[in-house]
Amino acid sequence: MSANHNLDFLNRLYKYVTTDIESIKLLIDKAKDPDQKNDLIAELQDYRNIAGTIELKLSEYQEAPKEIDTFTKTGLWSSVQLNTLMNQSSNHIAQMIIKGDETRIYTLEKDMKDHPDIDSDVREIGVSLLMAEKNHKEHMRYYL
């Protein structure tokens, strides 16, 4: 497989997982329920582990990961602030996470279909992120 397809896919995954990391970090500060806060911390660690795997794989291609830009981070911050301004309940935070996970699951599945010829080890990283998103979504249902 062409290194360009693998790199494109890995960079997409890295953007997704670092966006998830930034979002979860913001939501941890909003969570009032100690159990939910602990679950968010565990999710954050899952995402950081996946990001580390992507970074290692990118280094095999002598490629540095592309960090999310300040504009994206600012947009995430604004979105979390607005969405939690009037409601910081565990139910509402869970709904926000589930909605984000559903969007990410759809996007990941589409990206995997759009990249049928990536190497199997690169695909495995995508599958691990997809499974993490699905697991986190199901776990957050507890707080609904």
Q: For residue 83, give the CATH number of its domain.
A: 1.20.1260.10
Domain region containing 131: 3-143
* Per-residue pLDDT tens digits for 67-104: 888 888 888 888 888 888 889 999 999 999 999 999 99
- As a whole number, the mean pLDDT across the chain is 93
pLDDT at 76: 84
Residue 119 and residue 96: Cα distance in Å, rounded? Answer: 33
pLDDT at 106: 97
Work out how many domains the chain is built from and give that number.
Answer: 1
Mean pLDDT of 106-123: 95
pLDDT at 45: 98
**Among the listed residues 50, 60, 45, the one whose alpha carbon sits nearest the alpha carbon of residue 6:** 60
Burial environment of residue 117 by CB neighbours within 10 A (0 to 12, 13 to 18, 19 or more): exposed
Residue 125: C-alpha distances to residues 24, 53, 61, 132 (Å): 20, 8, 15, 11
Whether pLDDT at 1 is above 80: no
Mean pLDDT of 60-70: 90
Collect all residues with Cβ–Cβ distance below 8 Å to 20 and sequence separation of at least 6: 47, 100, 104
Whether pLDDT at 3 is above 80: no
Torsion angles phi and psi, residue 66, rounded to 5: -95, 115
Collect all residues with Cβ–Cβ distance below 8 Å to 87 and sequence separation of at least 6: none
Helices 70-84 and 3-30 cross at an angle (nearest 10°) of 40
* Per-residue pLDDT tens digits for 27-43: 999 999 999 999 999 99
Q: Are 65 and 11 in contact (CB under 8 A)?
A: yes
